[in-house]
Structure 1
Amino acid sequence: MFTGIIEDLGTIDKLVKEGGNLHITVRASVTNELKIDQSVAHNGVCLTVVGIDGNTYTVTVIQETLEKTNLGFLKSKDFVNIERAMKLGDRLDGHIVQGHVDQTAKCISIVEADGSWVFTFEYDKNLNNITIEKGSITVNGVSLTVVNSQLNRFSVAIIPYTFNHTTFKNLKVDDTVNLEFDVIGKYVTRLNELRS
């Protein structure tokens, strides 16, 4: 479990393809606190640490995850949002995040709003995911509040701290992001489907 509060910006050090898998080596300031077999979210995707070498660590991404997330688009020197799993007893500063990406979306608009930014994303409505006004959404692992919720798009307002300490500062129109919809909303949607 995660909270969507980003701890670090990792830098992609190396990418190695092996069959359908991709081994990603990340340079991050939290590396010295990691251990093998620990879960770490990368742009909101929960991955297992399989190797540690100095100030870099390696995770393995399987083909299914590559197909459903934006991790397959990563290049050497790219940044990723890093969050370690939450500790029981800590404050839940964001919202409950599983690290299981539901689908990707495209950034369709970025508007500077006198000291903050409004990012708008569009996603495939056929996968039956929904947002609600003032509900929670995770974009590339960042816990955010939905504004302007529509059938297949929504916006989020980004404050300067979040902009400067996450990959939002590098995000451009047409970039692909990972979305994890609110877990409670997913259960409600599924129950309604089963009743139909």
Structure 2
Amino acid sequence: MFTGLVSDVGTVVSVAGEGDLRRIAIRASYDPAGIALGASIACSGPCLTAVSVEPAEGGCVFAVDAAAETLARTTVGSWTAGARINLERSLKVGDELGGHLVTGHVDGLAEIVERTSVTAGAWGPSERFTLQAPAGLKKFIAEKGSVCLDGTSLTVNVVQDDLFSVLLIPHTLQVTTWGARRAGDRLNLEVDLIARYAARLAEARA
């Protein structure tokens, strides 16, 4: 379980394997002593399992395996060496829930259709991103509700059919991969857990 609060931006070092299984090595600033084999790490949204951990300058390099379901539903299959990845360690009992409850189970891909600067303050501009949700997921996205995009917990501002917008403050743009995002980019989308169950209950009653 995660909160969607990015704690590091890692870099893909290598991608090995073809077909339905890839092993991906990621450099991060995490202390290698704090990552146990089998630990869950959210990597730009998907919850992946650490299968190896090695010390490296400034932190560590850990490897994860991505199987067919992950490769089919997420952007993981397009990652190459040099790609920057939003990272979050799994929650511990007693941790602050600063974002919203995120499982790391990606539902589909949302595409950025527009990026616009909103305000320019002393710390830089905020940016509004308008995204298109897959047809089957738009019903789970509500104004003032939460979404997780590339592992980042965000509040939905406006919803119009399958389009929705989120606002990124300067701090988030600086400490995540969002600063480099442009129209046409596809992002890993996880809808709000509560919205998913509420919709399922409504279907069952009908």
Runs of 4+ deviating beyond 3 Å = none
Unaligned segments of structure 2, at least 5 residues = 120-124
TM-score norm. by structure 1 comes to 0.96
2:190 is the counterpart of 1:180: yes
Per-residue CA deviation, residues 149-175 of structure 1 (Å, 9 max, x unaligned), is 222121100000000110101111111
Paired residues of 2:138 and 2:162 also in contact (CA < 8 A): no
Question: Alpha-carbon deviation of 1:195?
Answer: 2.1
Q: What's 1:101 paired with?
A: 106
Question: Alpha-carbon deviation of 1:64?
Answer: 1.0
Q: What's 1:6 paired with?
A: 6
- Aligned mates of 2:40, 2:175 — CA distance in 1: 21
Per-residue CA deviation, residues 88-118 of structure 1 (Å, 9 max, x unaligned), is 1111000000110011111101001122000
Per-residue CA deviation, residues 62-107 of structure 1 (Å, 9 max, x unaligned), is 0111110111111110100000001111110000001100111111
2:19 is the counterpart of 1:16: no
TM-score norm. by structure 2 comes to 0.92
Paired residues of 2:112 and 2:182 also in contact (CA < 8 A): yes
Please show how residues 120-135 of structure 1 align to structure 2 within 5 Å.
120-127=130-137, 129-135=139-145
Distance 1:191 1:40, change over 3 A: same
- Aligned mates of 1:173, 1:67 — CA distance in 2: 22
SS of structure 1 residue aligned to 2:5: coil
- Which letter maps to 1:23? R
- Which letter maps to 1:24? I
Paired residues of 1:3 and 1:92 also in contact (CA < 8 A): yes
- Aligned mates of 1:85, 1:56 — CA distance in 2: 17
Please show how residues 44-193 of structure 1 align to structure 2 within 5 Å.
44-54=45-55, 55-114=60-119, 115-127=125-137, 129-193=139-203
SS of structure 2 residue aligned to 1:22: strand
- Which letter maps to 2:3? T
Question: Alpha-carbon deviation of 1:127?
Answer: 4.4
Unaligned segments of structure 1, at least 5 residues = none
Paired residues of 2:52 and 2:62 also in contact (CA < 8 A): yes
Distance 1:178 1:129, change over 3 A: farther
Paired residues of 1:40 and 1:84 also in contact (CA < 8 A): yes
Per-residue CA deviation, residues 36-77 of structure 1 (Å, 9 max, x unaligned), is 100000011100000112220100000111110111111110
Paired residues of 1:130 and 1:151 also in contact (CA < 8 A): no
- Please give the root-mean-square deviation of Cα atoms over the aligned residues, in Å: 1.2
Paired residues of 1:12 and 1:77 also in contact (CA < 8 A): yes
